[in-house]
Amino acid sequence: MTGDKVTIVEVGPRDGLQNEKRIVSTEDKLALIELLAQAGFSRIEATAFVSPKWVPQMADHDAVMRGIPRRSGLTLSALVPNEQGALAAIQAGARELAVFTSASETFAQKNINCSIAESLQRFRPVLALAAARDIAVRGYVSCAVECPYEGPIEPAAARSVSARLLDLGCSEIAIADTIGRATPERVEPMLAEVLQAVPRRQLACHFHDTSGLALSNVDVALGHGIRTFDSAIGGLGGCPYAPGAAGNLATERLLEHLDRHGHVHGIDRDALAGALQMAQSLKENRSVRET
């Protein structure tokens, strides 16, 4: 259905940059986020309150979250692994949290060093902390279609994890094609299964573009009535625990696609040009201040 409002969650500053080998300066991260905010994004995933030992790129999470100018209509979120990370993120000014698990047991062990069940237990205090402060929590389900270690994932597994996150109190479930191998033929039954447990208004899709099928998969999700999608400016991203994973679906490509189909998104394409230029410079491992 055309003409519907589609919400884009810009994940470039977190999911996009976290796997860059050269450490991006706090100043550059803040500049990128400001450019994205000026372009009209209402939701930006700014950073991750994780251990610098495991994700060195996010070591400046506190400075980034505190340094972003607040503006009306903009929700800044942070990925958190546990209660300690959640508390630090809230104290730094995050207005939305994100927790992450997987539909694949092997990927959960590789990515977060615990089982799916153990990860869900870790989230209970996070959800309690957020609820006490009226802060929304998004739940990511990685490898919802395919795992780099287990191969194809049964749709029932994605449904089960999604339902459990919803039961814990997550306000939104983001289904992720972490390694970008999903095809429309496999996204279709997965979404049909997950939608039996999660209302479409609470479901988002996060596609990587390894196989060049991200936009085709977006179309499948749109056909199911899903209206929230993640993307990263300039196609930034990857996953250190998913061999072969390419970048996220590029925000500029998603916007062009939505425009062609008549969907409303509220992003100023002209204003986005500056953010795209900066993202491309960061992707090329050079600071914009070096050009």
In angstroms, rounded to a whole number, what is the distance separating the alpha carbons of residues 109 and 50? 16
Q: What is the pTM of this model?
A: 0.94
Per-residue pLDDT at 290: 28
Query: Could you tell me the residue ranges of all domains in the chain?
Result: 7-290
Task: Tell me whether residue 147 is one of the annotated catalytic residues.
Answer: no
Position 48, amino acid: A
| Distance from C-alpha of 59 to C-alpha of 231, rounded to nearest angstrom | 22
Say what the pLDDT of residue 20 is: 83
| The CATH number of domain 7-290 is 3.40.50.300 | no
pLDDT digits (tens), the chain, 291 positions: 557 899 999 999 999 999 888 999 999 999 999 999 999 999 999 999 999 998 999 999 999 999 999 999 999 999 999 999 999 999 999 999 999 999 999 999 988 889 999 999 999 999 999 999 999 999 999 999 999 999 999 999 999 999 999 999 999 999 999 988 999 999 999 999 999 999 999 999 999 988 899 999 999 999 999 999 999 999 998 555 455 556 799 999 999 999 999 999 999 999 999 999 999 998 766 433 322
